[in-house]
Amino acid sequence: MPFATARTVSLHGAVGHLIDVQSDVSPGQPGLTMVGRPDATLNEARDRCRMAIINSGLVWPTTKRITILLSPADLLKSGTHFDLAIAVSVLAADGRIPKPHLTGTAFVGELTLDGNLRSVTGVLPMVLAAAERGIGRVFVPEPQAGEAAMVPGMEVLGMRSLAQVVAQLRGDEVPEAPPVAPMSGARLLSWRGDERLEETDMSDLLGLADVRFAVEVAAAGSHHLLLSGPKGAGKTSVAERIPGILPDLTRTESLELTALHSLAGILDPGQGMVVRPPYTAPHHDASKASLIGGGRGQVRPGEVSRAHGGVLFLDEFPLFRSDVIEALRQPLESGDVTIARQEESVTLPARAMVVLACNPCPCGRFSVDPGTNGCNCRSPQLRDYRNKVTGPVADRVDIVRNLVPLGRADRGDRFTVPESSAAIRERVAAARLRQAERYAGESWGLNGHAPGPVLRERWPLPEPAQRVIDDEVYSGRLSRRGGTRVHRLAWTVADLRRLQGPGVEEVAVALRLRTGDPLLIGMLERAS
C-alpha cells in the first residue's frame, strides 16, 4: 500500500495538536495535492520538500500522483516546521523508509532547498503536546535538541539535515552535515539587560522603608502594584529589583515560561529551563500586539506572557495608548491573555505581577515646592493623565504607594542597614509556602490569584476584621472590589507574619497599602 503517516505538532498559542501528515503516492497523473487547511507558509512546503529531497540525493516520486493530508483536516495549520514530517511521510509512502519506524515518533523542522534543517520556534510546547499524546521520540533541528530534552522521558534526536534523519530512521550510518544556525533573533533579545539586573540588589536602595515593605507584600502574594511619584523618586529602581526578591519559579511556571520563550524565539539553548522570574519593561510606545501578543501565522507571545511568573513593569503607564491599557485588564484579572484573530482565538498564560508607575503629572516635573516645581502641564492634559491613573486598570491594582524623593536624612542614615534581596526572598518564599499549603488542590497558589468569592466563602476574615472593611465600603472610601483586594492583601500580610490568619491589625495594614496611605512604622516590623 503506497501510503504512510508521519506525525508533527501544530501550535495554537501554547496549545499543541498532534497532526498526522498522511501521504499517498500512487500511479496517476503526476502532481502534488496538499489538503487539510494549510495556510500560505505551509503551502510553500511542497516546493521546499521536493527540492530538499532531490538535493539530499534521495528520490522524489516525480512520475506519480502525490496526495498529502494534514489531519485533523478542520484545523487551520500554519508554520514551516511541518516540512520534515511532510518529507519523511512522502519518502515512507514511496517505500524509501520502513514505515514501522515512524510509529511513536514526531518530526519538527523546516527544510532548506539543499536538504538541511533550520531552527524553528516553539519546539518545547510542541514536544510537550506530543508527549501528552503518547509520542516517545522526536526529531528536531540540532539547536533545539536541548529545549526538547526538557520534556521528561522523551527521546530526542537533534538533526542537521534530512539525509541524517532518513539515515537514522533506516538504521544506516549518519552522514556529515553542516551545523544548523541558531535562531537569528535569539541572542539579541535575551541579552537585553539581564546581566545588569543580576547585579542589582535591594540593599542598593536607601530609605524607602514604606515601599520596601509594600514590595515585599506584593512579591509574597503576587499582588499588582502602582508606584506614584515624581522623577527620580526611585520607581524604576524599585521595580527592577522585584524579580530579585521572588523565589525561583515553580516547576509548572518554569515549564510554561520556557515554552513561552520558545514560542517567542528567545530561548537561549545554552541556558536550559528558565528558572528565575523574568522582568519585562516595555516602553509606553508599545503596540497592543507587542504587549498582549499576536502577529500573523504562529502567535507570538507578548511582553505580558514573557513576564509570566515574573514582573511586568509599565513605566509612565498613563502614557500607554488607551487600547493597550484596556487590553491589560484581562491578564491583570485572570492571569492569561486571549488573542482573538480572524479564524481562531488563542489563549496564553500571562500571570505576571504587574507594576505600574506614574508621575504626578505628564511632564513629571511637578513638585509642591514652588522652588523646584518645573511643571508646565495644562489642565486638560493633567485631567486626562489623572483619569488614566484612576481608571479601570489602576482599579485592578492591589497596592498603591506614593514615593517621595530621597531626603538628606536618608543619605547619611547610620542606623538603617538596607536589607539584601536574598534576606527578603527568604521571607517571601516562606510566605508563598504557607499559601501553597493552604491552597493545595486549588487552581491557584497565591493570594493575589485567589478568586474573591471563594476567598470570602472559605477563607473569611474574623468578624471584627471584616467589619473594618465593611465600614470603609459603607462610608464609600473603598469600593466593593477594593474590599476584596484588602481581604487578599490581609492574608498575605498574615502569611508574612506567620499567623494562622489575618486579624484587625493585618486588615489595617492592607487598607493602607490599598488606599495609598502611609504605613504606621510599627507595621513595618518583619517576622524573624
Partner 1 sequence: MTAAEADRLARVALARITEPGHVRLLDLVSDSGAEVVHARLLDHPEIGRRLSAVEPERELAAAAKIGLRFVVPGDDEWPPVLDDLRTAEPVQERGGVPIGLWVRGPVRLDEVGGSLAVVGARTATTYGTDLAADLAATVGEAGRAIVSGAAFGIDFAAHRGAVAVEAPTVAVLACGADRVYPQAHHQMIDHIAAEGAVVSETVPGGAPMRIRFLSRNRIIAALSAGTVVIEAALRSGALNTANWAGRLNRTLMGVPGPVTSASSAGVHQLIRTGAATLVTSGEEALELLGASGEHVLDIPRGKDRPRDGLSHLQRQVLDAVPVARGAPSVSVARVAGLPAEEVHTTLLGLEVRGMVELDGDDGWRLAALAHD
* Interface ranges with partner 1 (CB under 8 A): 207, 209-210, 369-371, 373, 376, 404, 407-416, 517-522, 524
Task: Report how far residue 435's alpha carbon sits from residue 428's, in angstroms, rounded to the nearest whole number.
Answer: 11
CA 27 to chain centre: 49
When the beta carbons of 455 and 523 are compared against partner 1, the nearer one is 523
Query: What are the C-alpha distances in Å from 270 to residues 148, 189, 280, 348?
Result: 13, 14, 21, 25
* Cβ at position 416, least distance to partner 1 in Å: 8
Min CB(524)–partner 1 separation in Å: 7
Q: Which three cell numbers stand for residue 60?
A: 522524489
Residue 302, C-alpha cell as written in the block: 507578548
Of the pair 1, 368, the CB lying nearest partner 1 is at: 368
Closer residue to partner 1 (CB): 100 or 522: 522
Task: Give whichever of 196 and 408 is closer to partner 1, judged by the CB atom.
Answer: 408
- Beta-bridge partners for 73: none
Q: Closest distance between partner 1 and the C-beta of residue 474, in Å?
A: 16
What is the residue type of 439?
Y
How many CB atoms neighbour CB 231 within 10 A?
16
Rounded Cα distance between 281 and 303, Å, is 8
Q: How many CB atoms lie within 10 A of CB 295?
A: 13
**Closest to partner 1 by CB, 178 or 380:** 380
Nearest distance, CB of residue 481 and partner 1, angstroms: 21
Smaller CB separation from partner 1, 7 or 235: 235
| Amino acid at position 348, single letter | L
Closer residue to partner 1, CB minimum distance, 270 or 412? 412
Output 209 or 275, the one with its CB closest to partner 1: 209
Going by C-alpha positions, the residue among 234, 184, 240, 177 that lies closest to residue 211 is 234
Helix (H, G, I), strand (E, B) or coil at 149: coil
Return the axis-axis angle of helices 209-221 and 480-496, rounded to nearest 10°.
90
Supply 227's cell numbers: 508606584
Query: Least distance in Å: CB of 210 to partner 1?
Result: 4
Q: Is the Cβ of residue 373 or residue 387 nearer to partner 1 in the bound state?
A: 373
Of the pair 33, 373, the CB lying nearest partner 1 is at: 373
Virtual torsion, Cα 450, 456, 457, 462, nearest 10 deg: 130
Helix (H) or strand (E) run with residue 141 in it: strand 137-141
* Cell numbers that stand for 348 in this block: 496564553
- What's the closest the beta carbon of residue 213 comes to partner 1, in angstroms? 9
Beta carbon nearer to partner 1, 404 or 504? 404
Q: Is the peptide bond before 72 cis (omega within 30 degrees of 0)?
A: yes
Q: Which is nearer to partner 1, 174 or 524 (CB)?
A: 524
Cell of 424: 527578603
Half-sphere exposure of residue 29, counting CA atoms within 13 Å on the CB side? 1
CB of 398 to partner 1, least distance (A): 18
CA–CA separation, 108 and 282 (whole Å): 32
The three grid cell numbers given for residue 226, joined into one nine-digit string: 502602582
Closer of 369 and 437 to partner 1 (Cβ): 369
Least Cβ distance, residue 472 to partner 1 (angstroms):
12
Q: Alpha-carbon distance 253 to 222, whole Å?
A: 14
- Provide the pairing of β-strand 279-280 with 225-228: unpaired
CA distance 150 to 268: 13
Supply the minimum distance, in Å, between the C-beta of residue 357 and partner 1.
19
Give me the least distance between CB of 39 and partner 1, in Å please. 51
Taking the complex as a whole, the smallest distance from the CB of residue 496 to partner 1 amounts, in Å, to 17
Taking a C-beta distance cutoff of 8 angstroms, is the pair 264, 121 a contact?
yes
Contact 295, 337 (CB under 8 A): no
The most distant pair of C-alpha atoms in the chain lies apart, rounded to whole Å, by 90
Provide, rounded to whole angstroms, the least separation between the CB of residue 310 and partner 1.
27
Distance CA 489, CA 482 (A): 10
Smallest distance, Å, CB 518 to partner 1?
A: 4
CA dist 339 and 326 (Å) reads 13
